[in-house]
A and B are shown apart, each in its own frame.
Chain A
Amino acid sequence: MAELQLADVLVEMADTLVDDFDVIDFLHVLTERSVQLLGVSAAGLLLTDGRDTLQLVAASSERTRLLELFQLQSDEGPCVDCFRTGRPVSVANLATATRWPRFTEAAAAVGFAAVHAVPMRLRTQVIGALNFFDTAPGSLDPDKLRSGQALADVATIGLLQERAIRRRDVLTEQLQAALNSRIVIEQAKGVLAERWHVDMDEAFGLLRRHSRSGNRRLSELARAIVDGTEQMPSPAVP
């Protein structure tokens, strides 16, 4: 497979933005592409919820332990520091990091050795961070760090959606809507996991495949599944 280039990813994301796109799906694809592009093991995107807490909105994998690790950073971790300072944070070797004991221990338990975070900025405001994990220790080289920052900037643009952000208030409105969309996805995962006796990761896969094949917006489909107005996609039907 040809090496994935930043330009290819940016073109793909820009194409998505033209359509009537779903912000959660968009951010999910973005985390997947950043894993491929940067050669890291996992990526997650956290946004401020306006209540001093960072919330995970999208991740390259929905593995429960991974999601918990991302979310653990609502209290402490590189993502929180990155969000607070508005600057990238890079830990090349978690084994020697002492700043975030709870986070470091949890990251090690999942098998990660290095972690990096780049801020999502809109002018002077920091709205979240894009977070990368790697199983091998090592720092991100400057090119990759720049690519990571470019992807974080694209994510910010995606969140702002169709409306020109003249006011901070509009940004707040969009952020809150995106965070609630993520909750709808979690509720739908629960419905599918129970209905088809699958785990949460597989439930998300079902939801996403059904959204793709039916050309439905991920959040709309999730909402319909929770409301019971949509026939739930079966794992038996590809």
Chain B
Amino acid sequence: MTAQRRIRLWTRVVEVADGGRVTLGTVCTALIEAAGVDGAWASVLLPANLRETVYASDAVAERLSDLALTLGEGPGVDASGGTPALAADLLDIDSQARWPVFAPAAVQVGARALFALPLQVGTIQVGVLDLYRAAPGSLDDDQLADALLLADTACAILLDAGGMDIGSASRPHLDAHHPEVHQATGMLIVQLRVTASVALVRLRAYAYAHDLPLRDVARSVVARRLRFSPDPDIGDGGLQ
């Protein structure tokens, strides 16, 4: 079911990239169009609860991002806890009660609807993607599905740090619907003595380097056919 949506969205991302690298900006441009929103910004979560805006599509998005950082409230702040925060109208009672300072300020800046999607994989909190609309209104099912899938792509890009080449065999898919990927991430935390985030990046890097689907690599780890070594001299994938 998802395949068609994925292919359509990825095709659009590649078109937007126009022969260049697929970056967070490319993905956000495609997302703004697909979700029918007016703009977007992305922030990453740093240690000690700090946040940093790494992308803003326009001046309004930039100002909204500043507001959230300054006021310490808003959908994006809530979403960094791991649950999306969807506000179809910042002037309705729910939004005003939830973000008493941020909601009116955001309306002043030019946003009436805000949708904050956590960029996360289980315990790995990469950041938050915020979408805004100048007019009130929910994302319909299709827009939401497109937004969630492209947010997964944005998450993969941020996780792997930086843009990727179009020509590369791997596509920045998160493959979050395969439990083996998460089980393997957990196993790598112990094998490599690293955080979950580093474990997942190493797993993904191995898949790219060997031109294998992430799921197959994860399965080999779970089946204990593949072990990762914390010693960089030995490299990954030493069979033991």
CA distance A167 to B84 in the complex (A): 14
Taking CB atoms, residues of chain B closer than 8 Å to A192 are: 186
Given A186-B179, A186-B182, A194-B191, check contact A51 B122 (CB 8 Å).
Answer: no
Query: Quick one: which of B63-97 are within 8 Å of A by CB?
Result: 82-88, 94
Query: Would B122 and A183 count as touching, CB distance under 8 A?
Result: yes
Residue in A closest to B122 when the chains form the complex, CB atoms: A183
Query: Would B196 and A187 count as touching, CB distance under 8 A?
Result: yes
B240 contacts partner chain A, Cβ-Cβ < 8 Å: no
Query: Quick one: which of B171-199 are within 8 Å of A by CB?
Result: 176-179, 182-191, 195-196
Residue in B closest to A193 when the chains form the complex, CB atoms: B187
Of the 9-residue stretches A34-42, A152-160, A168-176, which lies at the interface with chain B?
A168-176
Residue in B closest to A223 when the chains form the complex, CB atoms: B123
Query: Would A172 and B84 count as touching, CB distance under 8 A?
Result: yes
Q: Provide the A39-81 mask, 1 if CB < 8 A to any CB of B, else 0.
A: 0000000000111110110000000100100010011000010
Query: Would B177 and A71 count as touching, CB distance under 8 A?
Result: yes
Query: Would B186 and A193 count as touching, CB distance under 8 A?
Result: yes
* Contact partner, A186, options B82, B87, B186, B195, Cβ 8 Å: B186
B9 to chain A, nearest CB (A): 10
Taking CB atoms, residues of chain A closer than 8 Å to B190 are: 191, 194-195
Taking CB atoms, residues of chain B closer than 8 Å to A176 are: 83-84, 118, 148
Query: Quick one: which of A179-217 are within 8 Å of B by CB?
Result: 180, 183-184, 186-195, 200
B190 to chain A, nearest CB (A): 4
Query: Would A226 and B138 count as touching, CB distance under 8 A?
Result: no
B222 contacts partner chain A, Cβ-Cβ < 8 Å: yes
Interface band, chain A? 35 or more
B44 to chain A, nearest CB (A): 18
Taking CB atoms, residues of chain B closer than 8 Å to A64 are: 222
B157 to chain A, nearest CB (A): 17
Taking CB atoms, residues of chain B closer than 8 Å to A95 are: none
B27 contacts partner chain A, Cβ-Cβ < 8 Å: no
Taking CB atoms, residues of chain A closer than 8 Å to B186 are: 186-194, 226
CA distance A168 to B177 in the complex (A): 23
A15 contacts partner chain B, Cβ-Cβ < 8 Å: no
Query: Would A227 and B144 count as touching, CB distance under 8 A?
Result: no
Q: Mostly helix, strand, loop or mixed at chain A's interface?
A: helix
B168 contacts partner chain A, Cβ-Cβ < 8 Å: no
Given A55-B177, A71-B177, check contact A191 B189 (CB 8 Å).
Answer: yes
B106 to chain A, nearest CB (A): 17
Query: Quick one: which of B118-132 are within 8 Å of A by CB?
Result: 118, 120-123
Taking CB atoms, residues of chain B closer than 8 Å to A191 are: 186-187, 189-190
Query: Would A187 and B145 count as touching, CB distance under 8 A?
Result: no
Query: Would B185 and A173 count as touching, CB distance under 8 A?
Result: no
A22 to chain B, nearest CB (A): 14
Taking CB atoms, residues of chain B closer than 8 Å to A166 are: 94
* Contact partner, A180, options B82, B141, B144, B195, Cβ 8 Å: B82
B24 contacts partner chain A, Cβ-Cβ < 8 Å: no
B182 to chain A, nearest CB (A): 4
* Contact partner, B196, options A53, A174, A180, A226, Cβ 8 Å: A226
B31 contacts partner chain A, Cβ-Cβ < 8 Å: no
A185 to chain B, nearest CB (A): 8
B225 contacts partner chain A, Cβ-Cβ < 8 Å: no
List 7 additional contacts besides A51-B145, A172-B86, A183-B122; criterion CB under 8 Å: A169-B87, A173-B86, A186-B122, A186-B183, A190-B183, A191-B187, A194-B190
User: What are 7 A-B residue pairs whose CB atoms fall within 8 Å in the complex?
Assistant: A52-B5, A64-B222, A176-B148, A187-B186, A223-B123, A226-B123, A226-B196
User: Sorted from nearest, which 6 A-B pairs have the closest CB atoms?
Assistant: A190-B186, A186-B182, A183-B122, A169-B86, A194-B190, A190-B183
